[in-house]
Amino acid sequence: MSHGGPDDSGIYINEKLQLALGHRRLSLLDLSPSGHQPMFTNDKNVVICFNGEIYNFKEIKRQLEEKGYNFFSSGDTEVILNAYKEWGEKAFTLFNGMFAFALVDLTNNLFFLVRDPSGIKPLYYSHQENSLFFSSEIRGFMKTGLFQENEKWKILFLTFGFIPEPYTSLKDVFMLPKGHYYKYDLDKRQGRFEQYYSYQYTHKIKDKEEAVFKIRETLDTAIRRHLISDAPLGIFLSGGIDSSIIALAAGSELKENLRSLSVIFDEPGYSEKKYQQMVLEKLNNKHQFYKVDKSIFIKSLPDILNALDQPSIDAVNTYFISQCAKDEGLKAVLSGLGADELLGGYPSFNRIQNLQWLKKMPSVFFDLIQYSGIAQKDKFKKLNFLKIEDDLGLYLTLRGMYLPQTVASILDISLKEVLQTLESCYLGDALSLRNHKNTASWMETNIYMQNQLLKDSDFMSMWHSIEVRVPFLDKEFIELALSIDPSVKFNGRPKSLLIEAYKDVLPEGIWNRPKQGFTFPFQLWFKDSGVISEFLDSKSPAKKALAQQFLKGDLHWTRLWSLYLTDHWGKSC
C-alpha cells in the first residue's frame, strides 16, 4: 500500500490489547516529522491512523486552544485527536471533510472506525469471532491470505459495473457505511455500528435568487477550504461546467500560483481543448496539456488492471488523469465530481418520472417487450430491470449493465442464482422521496457516485500518490443543495442554478452547449487491444457473441471491459 502513502510509514503495536495499527502517509498538511502517524495525544491516551482531510480543522483547533489545548503539529490529524479527547464521539459530527480513520481510546480500551458523511474515503472491515481487521484497500485483506473470494461478486459486478457497498470481492469483508462509526470494546471483543450523521432533504429555500446567491457563496467558501495544502496542488480542467467553475474560483484566490492540467486527444469529437482554452483565457496561470493516445492506452492496460483495488468499468479515465497530475509534480487535484448528482446534470433526471410510471405496469407488460422486436434495442431491453422490486429495479433501468439472463449466460450459472443475489441487495430507499427528481438525485449520489465515481477516484489517485479533492461534496454545500426546493433546483436547463450563480465569470461557450461528459476514445482504442481478440477466440458462446457485437458497434466498450475484468481482475493482487 506504499503507492498511496510514499512519504512516511509507521506501526503501533499494543501486545496487552492485542492491537496493531499500520499507516502509510501522503503528506499534504504539515510536511514535517510532526505529522507522523500513528499519532498520539500529548498524554499518550489516544492514538489515531487517519486518511483524508478535515477542511475546517483550523476553526476546530481555535476552539480547542481556547479550552487550553496545546498543539505540537500544524496539520489536521492532531485536531481529530484532541477533539475526541474533549467531546468524545460527538466530535465526529464537527468534521467537514473526507476522512476514514481508526482511533484508539487507551483509557477506556475502545477502538473506533469512522468514515465521512459522504463516503468519499473508503474504509473496509471484517469482524470474525474475536478478531477485527480493517484497511483502506481490499488488497490489504488479500495479502493476508486469510479471506476467501465472495462467490457473488461477479454477478454484482456484471449487473452494476461495480460491486455495490457494503459488499466487496471478499467474503465477510464489508465497507463501513458512510456517516457511521464502528465502536469496538477491546476487552469484550464486541462492537456496534452508530450513525453519527446523515443528510436530509429539507426544501427550505423556495426563492430562486436566494438559492443562486447561496450557491455562489457556499461553493466559493468550499473551494477556498479545499485549496489549503502545504504540498503542490492543482485543478483538473476538463472543459465542462463544473471543473471550469472550480478553476475560475480557485484562480481568483491563487492568481498566477494556480496550477491546472487537461487531457487531450488526437481523435476528433473527443478533445475538449477548445473549451479548456476558453477558461484558460480568463486565467493567468500555469497550465499543462497532456496528450493520451492509443499506444499509451494499450501499453498502460496491465498497470490499470493492477491499480483497480475493486473491479470497476469506469476507472480508466481517472487512471490517466491521476498519472498526468503525478507527472506534473502535484500531490492533490480538485475535481468537479458531485455537481451533476446534486443539481440535476444527468439525463436520468428527465427519465425518472416515466420510469416510475412504467414500474407500476404488470409483469406481463415487460415479458411482451422482451419477446417483441422492440427489445432488440438495449434501452428497451433494460426496461426488464423494472420487474426487480423497490429502488434497485429503477436504478438498474437507468444505469444497469447486463440483464440477469445475460449475466447467467456469461457466468454459466442459473438465472435463479442471479435473481436471488440481486434480490438480496438493499441499497437504500429513494422511492420514499416525494419528488421524482430528488429520487434521481438520491440514486445518482448514493448509488452511482458512491459506488462508481468516488471509488474510482480513490483507487486511481492513490495508485499514483495523488489526492483527489471534491469541493461540490463539501458538507455545507451538500446541505445547501438538499435544502433547495426541487421546483427551484430543477427548473430549466440542467444545473441552471449553478450556471446562474457563475454566469458573470463562466464563458457562455462552456454552459450554452449540449452536455458531453469527459470521455476518452476507448470505443476506438479497445478494437486494437488484446482484449477483443481474447473474446473472439473464447470457448464461451456468450462472450464470443458479445465481442462480435462490440466490433459491429452494438456494444459499449465498458461492457467488453467488464468481461475482461471478470476473468482477470485480482489475479495479480
Q: How many CB atoms lie within 10 A of CB 187?
A: 9
Q: Confirm whether residue 263 is marked as ligand binding.
A: yes
Helix, strand or coil, per DSSP, at residue 269: coil
Q: Does residue 498 contact residue 241 with C-beta atoms inside 8 Å?
A: yes
Q: Does residue 229 contact residue 55 with C-beta atoms inside 8 Å?
A: no
Q: Give, as one character, the DSSP assignment of residue 94.
A: G
Q: Does residue 359 contact residue 351 with C-beta atoms inside 8 Å?
A: no
Q: Confirm whether residue 279 is marked as ligand binding.
A: no
* Residue closest to 520 by CA, chosen among 313, 344, 348: 313
Q: Confirm whether residue 340 is marked as ligand binding.
A: no
* Bridge pairing between strands 97-105 and 46-54: antiparallel
Q: Does residue 205 contact residue 483 with C-beta atoms inside 8 Å?
A: yes
Q: How many CB atoms lie within 10 A of CB 329?
A: 11
* Residue closest to 424 by CA, chosen among 129, 159, 149: 159
Q: Confirm whether residue 335 is marked as ligand binding.
A: yes
Per-residue CA distances from 118 to 77, 89, 140, 391 (Å): 19, 18, 23, 20
Distance, in Å, from the CA atom of 55 to the CA atom of 73, rounded to the nearest integer, reads: 16
C-alpha cell at 452: 462508481
Q: Give, as one character, the DSSP assignment of residue 473.
A: G
Give residue 64's Cα distance to chain centre. 32
* Three-class HEC string of 209-262: HHHHHHHHHHHHHHHHHHCCCCCCEEEECCCCHHHHHHHHHHHHHHHHHCEEEE
* Bridge pairing between strands 46-54 and 39-40: antiparallel
Residue keyed to cell 502535484: 330
Distance, in Å, from the CA atom of 202 to the CA atom of 396, rounded to the nearest integer, reads: 27
Lateral strand order in the sheet of 467-469: 286-291, 259-264, 233-236, 332-334, 467-469
Distance, in Å, from the CA atom of 4 to the CA atom of 304, rounded to the nearest integer, reads: 15
Q: Does residue 314 contact residue 407 with C-beta atoms inside 8 Å?
A: no
Q: How many CB atoms lie within 10 A of CB 298?
A: 15
Give the list of residues 6+ apart from residue 38 with CB closer than 8 angstroms, or none: 10, 11, 12, 21, 23, 47, 48, 49
DSSP secondary structure, 441-461, as one string? HHHIIIIIIIIIIHHHHHHHH
Helix, strand or coil, per DSSP, at residue 114: strand
Strand partners, 52: 99
Q: Does residue 192 contact residue 181 with C-beta atoms inside 8 Å?
A: no
The annotation places the binding site for L-glutamine at 76
The annotation places the binding site for ATP at 263, 335-336
The annotation places the binding site at 76, 263, 335-336
